[in-house]
Structure 1
Amino acid sequence: MDEFEKMQAGEWYCCLDPALDTRRLRVFDAVHAHNATRPSARGNIAPELRAVLGTAPDTARIEGQFRCVYGVNIHLGDAAFLNVGCVILDSGRVEIGARSMLGPHVQIYCADHHRDPKLRSELIERALPVRIGQDVWIGGGAIILPGVTIGDGAIVGAGSVVTKDVAPGVTVVGNPARVVTPSRES
């Protein structure tokens, strides 16, 4: 298997590989086109960016100053919304469910670097998926770590660092994120 195939399979791979560099450069150009296009002309997602994403329905929206690495691993549900400055390091599959909202500068990381310092110095990593259910709200500046699943209807407080799975319908806050009793506002 080549390094991209290893990455897609969730196996250990070397992240600095000429073929991966070529893939990333194509995506970086598409991201640049999206971010450089006037919002009135861009629509929900610029065509260049939409072309490199795995799944991006017409109703999904990505605001400017967005960043991603491979694009193909990003799968957006209907009416998913990514606010300004979101970063998705999508070496692994990233699913963002229908009607989920990510606040400004939310960061999603899939790369899990090797624990062995020698292998880490050789840039060996693996890609773990991140799954965000439907109707999730992730507050600005939150960080979602590799391998995390966030259940339907959950809320992640602004600035939280999510290191473990979040059950459906709960609210988590803090670093590391922990469950808090959700308020029942009417």
Structure 2
Amino acid sequence: MTEREDEVLARIRQGVFYTETEAAFLGPGRRADLIFDYNGTRPGDTDRKRELLERILGSVGKRTVLLAPFHAGFGSNVHIGDDFFGNVNLTFVDDVEIRIGDGVMIAPGVTLTTTGHPIHPELREDFRRFSKPITIEDKVWIGSNVVVLPGVRIGYGAVIGAGSVVSRDIPAMTVAVGTPCRVVRHITDADLPTARPPGDGH
């Protein structure tokens, strides 16, 4: 790696703006063709899907289910733990790392994006952007059509309500909803006895 590439990587890690041209050397980490193959693999061909997933992702745990189609800018910057379930149309904008713990469930249409762009249009030439890693801790449940923004950490056991835009860290063992996403309550032992789904008034 050249001195210039080292300097660009350092800026990326610091969350400082960088351009597409500056980051072009990261291109070999993109797994677009393998993702295309994964999304076209028959649902019952679990061995083939597992083989492709291990080649696409930076790391993947045991008993992982990722329903097709899914999308990723790179794929190689995504790390998934054991007992993961990702429903259809999960999108990883993984210019930097996305780390997902064990026992995480993600509903349809969710976007995890590590990257944003400058507000002023004059700064957006050559796709200038910044990137900050996302961390999703163990046993998190993310509802449908949620967007998780750069730099966010979602704590252990948290539940993110459908349609939320998560722009700040969410503490462990909380329910958070809305745009922007805010904590509405803590998860306690009082949530254990019921077998009813959330919101069921019967």
Same fold (TM over 0.5): yes
1:87–1:105 CA contact under 8 A, matched in 2? yes
Moved over 6 A (4+): none
- TM-superposed CA distance for 1:69, in Å, is 1.1
Identify the residue that residue 127 of structure 1 maps to in structure 2. Answer: 131
CA separation of 1:104 and 1:43: change in aligned 2, threshold 3 A: farther
Identify the residue that residue 51 of structure 1 maps to in structure 2. Answer: 55
TM-score between both structures, scaled by the size of structure 2: 0.81
CA separation of 1:6 and 1:12: change in aligned 2, threshold 3 A: farther
> How far apart in 1 are the matches of 2:77 and 2:86?
16
CA displacement 1:144-174 (0-9 Å, x = unmatched): 0011000000000011111110000000111
1:6–1:13 CA contact under 8 A, matched in 2? no
2:41–2:49 CA contact under 8 A, matched in 1? no
Instruction: Give the partner amino acid of 1:86.
Output: L
Q: How many residues end up aligned between the 2 structures?
A: 184
- TM-superposed CA distance for 1:18, in Å, is 4.7
CA displacement 1:64-122 (0-9 Å, x = unmatched): 01001111211101111111110010011101110010101111001121344322123
Identify the residue that residue 157 of structure 1 maps to in structure 2. Answer: 161
1:164-175 map, 5 Å = 164-175=168-179
> How far apart in 2 are the matches of 1:45 and 1:56?
12
CA separation of 1:94 and 1:110: change in aligned 2, threshold 3 A: same
Identify the residue that residue 64 of structure 1 maps to in structure 2. Answer: 68
1:78–1:98 CA contact under 8 A, matched in 2? yes
TM-score between both structures, scaled by the size of structure 1: 0.88
- Partner SS for 1:40: coil
Among candidates 17, 20, 28, match of residue 15 of structure 1: 20
Among candidates 137, 149, 169, match of residue 141 of structure 2: 137
1:88–1:109 CA contact under 8 A, matched in 2? yes
> How far apart in 1 are the matches of 2:184 and 2:138?
20
Unaligned runs of 5+ in 1: none
Among candidates 88, 101, 104, match of residue 84 of structure 1: 88
Q: Does 1:176 align with 2:180?
A: yes
1:106-125 map, 5 Å = 106-125=110-129
> How far apart in 1 are the matches of 2:28 and 2:80?
24
CA separation of 1:128 and 1:45: change in aligned 2, threshold 3 A: farther
- TM-superposed CA distance for 1:141, in Å, is 0.7
Unaligned runs of 5+ in 2: 195-202
> Could you say what the CA RMSD is over the residues aligned between the two structures, in angstroms?
2.3
CA separation of 1:106 and 1:159: change in aligned 2, threshold 3 A: same
- Partner SS for 2:129: strand
Instruction: Give the partner amino acid of 1:181.
Output: R
Max Rg structure: 2
2:20–2:126 CA contact under 8 A, matched in 1? no
